Structure 1
Amino acid sequence: MPTAYFGRRYMLSASHRLHSDTLSDEANRATYGKCNNPHGHGHNYVVEVLVGGPVDVETGMVVNMATLDEVVQTSVLERFDHTNLNRDPLFVNQVPTTENLCRAVFGVLKEALPNGELAWIRVEETENNFFEFRGE
Structure 2
Amino acid sequence: MILLTRKAEFSSAHFYWVDAWTPEENERVFGKCANRNGHGHNYTLEVTVGGEVDPVTGFVVDLKLLKDILEKEVVSVYDHRHLNYEVPEFASTVPTTENIAIAIWRRLDGKIPHSTLHRVRVYEMPDLFADFYGESK
Kept in 2, the 8 Å contact 1:75–1:112? The answer is no
State the 1:24 CA deviation: 1.1
Q: TM-score, normalised by structure 2?
A: 0.94
**Secondary structure of the equivalent of 1:96?**
coil
- What RMSD over aligned residues (CA atoms) do the two structures have, in Å? 0.9
For residues 45-124 of structure 1, the aligned pairs below 5 Å read: 45-87=43-85, 88-124=87-123
Kept in 2, the 8 Å contact 1:75–1:108? The answer is yes
CA distance in 2, matches of 1:86, 1:128: 23
Gaps of 5+ in 1: none
Query: Residues 101-122 of structure 1, C-alpha deviation per residue, up to 9 Å, x if partnerless?
Result: 1100111011422221010000
**Secondary structure of the equivalent of 1:112?**
coil
Gaps of 5+ in 2: none
Per the alignment, residue 134 of structure 1 pairs with 133
Query: Residues 58-88 of structure 1, C-alpha deviation per residue, up to 9 Å, x if partnerless?
Result: 2111111101000001111000000010021
Q: How many residues align?
A: 134
